[in-house]
Amino acid sequence: MTRVLLAVNLAGLIAALVRSRELLEAVEQFAQIATSLEPSLLASLVVLHLLDRQLRRLTYPVGLAIAFALVAAIVCGVAGGLSALGLGLASPAWSVGYAFLMCAALAAYFSLRERAFSPALAEARLQALQARIRPHFLFNSINAVLSLMRQDPRRAETALEDLAELFRSVMTDNRNLVTLEEEVVLTRRYLELEHLRLGERLVVQWQVDPACLPALVPPMVLQPLVENAVYHGIEPGSQPGTIDISARRVGDQVRLELVNPYWPEHQHRQGNRMALANIGERLLLHFDVEASLETSIVDDRFRICINIPWKTAVGAR
């Protein structure tokens, strides 16, 4: 929607500049164009948004033809009403012609963009990004398991099962989204392994709304962030540190938040920004601009907030 709004208004601005000789005249021309442009544009976006699910079920040519027809009908109606009030700059026929031209240009743009981010290319980039995730804790965990073999064989066996599950998740195919519940289970397994090393120094507080568990998220999106929190927030300190992990639904999005201690003197350690950039790019590939990742530092606490569009598997609520 943002791209459509910007593109159409940019076209209106260009038209105003072409018609004018001075800047002030261009501003007046654009204001007049906007009087006819904005009502039709906003009404078209609202109608197409409301019919989004129905249009997605159709083939692309049929859906596109219906979208063109809807826009033409809306533009014709708005232009006719404005002309009757003496506010329109162009006749309904000309307005519909401009609308068709703009629709064709936008359809071509979105088609080219879809090809640029085709599944094959996106999958290749996702595989390359996922391949960079090689948690350093694996080596530390192996040493911790070895130290438990004689003292607590049952706990060592459980730790090896957790380790095997983490290896499986790191190496698995990541073309498909997974449920938040799977990510939470995987992260808990990781934290159990870190508890072997850090003991009481590692305190984790979970606040996950059960209603969010069916939500679909990129694989390995939560565990690397928690690993960063342990590496940069818990390991540098000598006293117990707390990591807060929360997940809740906010409107039509799932919000993941992670807060951990912040040690400015240890921020030269490598890997934090790389991991954040990695996850940010994976979110972009999966959800485009609908997802976001934000970081902030408040009262010696490092906060990460991720917003992901609410999606569930077929049949899930």
Facing residues of 298 across strands? 301
The CA-atom distances, in angstroms, between 239 and each of 206, 236, 261 are: 20, 9, 11
Quick check: helix, strand or coil at residue 106? helix
Would you state the structure tokens that stand for residue 73, as one six-digit string?
């009908």
User: Mean pLDDT score of the chain, rounded to an integer?
Assistant: 82
Say which range, 54-63, 109-118, 133-142, 271-280, has the weakest mean pLDDT.
133-142
Q: Which domains does the chain have, with CATH numbers?
A: 2-116 (no CATH), 128-309 (3.30.565.10)
pLDDT of residue 310: 93
What does the pLDDT look like over 12-47, one tens digit per residue? 888 888 888 888 888 888 888 888 788 888 999 999
Q: What are the pLDDT digits (tens) for 211-229?
A: 999 999 988 889 888 888 8
Q: What is the mean pLDDT of residues 70-94?
A: 75
pLDDT digits (tens, 9 = 90+) for 249-268: 998 999 999 999 988 766 54
Amino acid at 135: P
Q: Is residue 190 within 8 Å of residue 137, measured between CB atoms? A: yes
pTM flag (> 0.75):
no
What is the reported pLDDT for 184?
93
Q: Where are the beta strands (DSSP E) in the chain?
A: 178-179, 202-208, 216-217, 241-250, 253-261, 292-298, 301-309
The answer to whether 133 touches 167, Cβ cutoff 8 Å, is no
For residues 88 and 74, give the distance between their C-alpha atoms in angstroms, rounded to a whole number: 14
The mean pLDDT of 82-87, rounded to a whole number, is 66
Model pLDDT, residue 210: 93
pLDDT higher than threshold 70 for residue 123 = no
pLDDT at 115: 78
